A and B are shown apart, each in its own frame.
Chain A
Amino acid sequence: MKFKYRKLLHRSFENKLSKRQQRTLNRELARNAELRAEKAKIERIREALTDSPELSFRPFFAERVTNRIMNLYQNRQEDFAASLAFAFRRIAIAGVVTAVILLSVNLFTPAVKTVSPYFGSKTTLDDMLDPGNTTSLEDVL
């Protein structure tokens, strides 16, 4: 059977034939038994497919979907809160450890009684009390 007629036959089911093509197909169908048999088989397959029973999911599908969505968003919020708490916990622990170290160094080092040297300032409490160190109005002017 010619491919051309088979193609026309398939297209005819989708109403995509011009009048001329339809005439050609009808003429061929009238004289070609094989093409007629082919048409009958295609018709049966198409009918079987379009009339096949409805396919469906198990009962309560919609409820399962909604629960999954709600769980998904609840878990996402919980995850966010947990990761936020985790991040803050690390920062807090690092801060406390640093403060304890600085305090220990400060207390157990006899010459240093302040944390200021660690921040670049060499000024001690004694220096602050030294009158010579105080800035007068004249110095500023």
Chain B
Amino acid sequence: MQSKGNSIKSDQDIINAVTGGDVRAFQELVKRYEQRVAATVIGMLGQCPEAEDVGQETFIRFYQTLSDFRGESSVVTYLTRIAINLSLNELKRRKRQFQRDMPLAAARSVAYDDARDHEPDQKEIIQQAIQKLSPKHRAVIVLRLLEGYSTKETAQILKLAHGTVLSRLSRGLEKLKELLEPYLGKDYEI
């Protein structure tokens, strides 16, 4: 993000201040990009307590590598890359935990469904459908459609070939179409 006036500091100005020892300046950078990181992390993991942890960890990792930041890619791209990698790690951890505690996880899932006292709205329906995609398809859908990155940028963030992004995008959408079919068929406001 470039500075829009004298009062708004550029990302590089903030980074210089932080590397100069002003930790508080980092807060401004977090405020600037927390929405983007939230979209990535919550899109990948769903609305859950782990999402906030991964979001915080994303900024902490960025802070720890600030001295290595050369500005070759923008701050938001760099943050998104960290957020995606940490989210994928979290998904792997969940998968391992689910395999280990399968009966407990199933019971929790039932309890969660019972606790919900309202019909899911559009946001929840979409999130639930995204959560059912495989991580590799989910990452592409989140970056390309939720976050609005171009396919080229998505390929750069995920370090994939452009064609791979396109094919994962179409497969992900196919899967989403199957999952959202009941709502699409019933003229649901989606």
Q: Which residues of A contact B (CB under 8 A)?
A: 6-7, 10-11, 14, 16, 38, 41-42, 44-46, 48-50, 52-58, 61-66, 68-70, 72-73
Q: Which residues of B contact A (CB under 8 A)?
A: 23-24, 26-28, 30-31, 34-35, 38-39, 42-43, 47, 51-52, 55-56, 59-60, 63, 122-123, 126, 141, 145-146, 148, 151, 166, 169-170, 173-174, 176-177, 180, 184, 190
**Cα of A55 to Cα of B87 in the assembled complex, Å:** 15
Give min CB distance, A1 to chain B, whole Å: 12
**Cα of A41 to Cα of B178 in the assembled complex, Å:** 10
**Cα of A61 to Cα of B26 in the assembled complex, Å:** 12
**Cα of A73 to Cα of B170 in the assembled complex, Å:** 45
Known contacts A50-B148, A55-B43, A69-B60: A10-B169 contact under CB 8 Å = yes
**Cα of A63 to Cα of B59 in the assembled complex, Å:** 12
Give min CB distance, A100 to chain B, whole Å: 46
Give min CB distance, A102 to chain B, whole Å: 48
Give the A-B pair count, Cβ closer than 8 A. Answer: 98
Majority secondary structure, B binding face: helix
**Cα of A50 to Cα of B144 in the assembled complex, Å:** 9
Q: Is the CB of B173 within 8 A of A65?
A: no
B123 to chain A: which residues have CB within 8 Å? Answer: 52-53
Q: Is the CB of B52 within 8 A of A56?
A: no
Which 8 pairs from chain A and chain B are nearest by CB? Answer: A10-B170, A62-B30, A49-B145, A55-B42, A66-B27, A62-B31, A65-B59, A48-B190
Q: Is the CB of A57 within 8 A of B52?
A: yes
Question: Can you list 11 A-B pairs with a CB-CB distance of less than 8 A?
Answer: A10-B170, A14-B151, A14-B169, A44-B190, A52-B123, A55-B39, A64-B56, A66-B24, A69-B59, A69-B60, A69-B63
**Cα of A16 to Cα of B35 in the assembled complex, Å:** 30
A65 to chain B: which residues have CB within 8 Å? Answer: 26-27, 30, 56, 59-60
